[in-house]
């Protein structure tokens, strides 16, 4: 059993699911990320542009150089900016989440 990385997803068999790169997300029109501070008692959240990161960078790894703007913690987590994704015009796909 190989060591699991906390920033990677795994399927039911424990195989690593390759994360999307920023290039993959940009191809979908996704240029922002939701960032949250995991430090106890902070909870600072922000939506940032991913344009400052290289295209080949795996999306979860953009957390590595980040530091919380409120408390200075390096315990930063990132998620895809689902608000931005759902805010896109539904006409492009013809359906949306309800």
Q: Which residues bind Zn ion (CB under 5 A)?
A: 37, 39, 42, 44, 68, 70-71, 73
CB nearer to Zn ion: give 8 or 74: 74
Could you tell me the smallest distance in angstroms from the CB atom of residue 43 to Zn ion? Answer: 7
CB nearer to Zn ion: give 41 or 94: 41
Could you tell me the smallest distance in angstroms from the CB atom of residue 68 to Zn ion? Answer: 3
CA-to-CA dists, residue 35 to 19, 28, 75, 88, angstroms: 17, 19, 11, 20
CB nearer to Zn ion: give 39 or 85: 39
88 Cβ contact partners less than 8 Å away, ≥ 6 residues apart: 29
Give the length of the chain: 98
């Amino acid at each position: 059993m190989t060591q699991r990385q906390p920033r990677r997803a795994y399927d039911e068999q424990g195989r690593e699911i390759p994360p999307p790169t920023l290039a993959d997300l940009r191809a979908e029109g996704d240029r922002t990320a939701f960032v949250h501070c995991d430090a106890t008692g902070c909870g600072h959240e922000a939506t940032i542009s991913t344009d400052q990161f290289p295209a080949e960078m795996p999306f979860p790894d953009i957390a590595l150089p980040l530091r919380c703007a409120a408390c200075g913690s390096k315990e930063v987590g990132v998620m895809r900016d689902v608000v931005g994704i759902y805010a896109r015009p539904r006409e492009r796909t013809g359906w949306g989440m309800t």
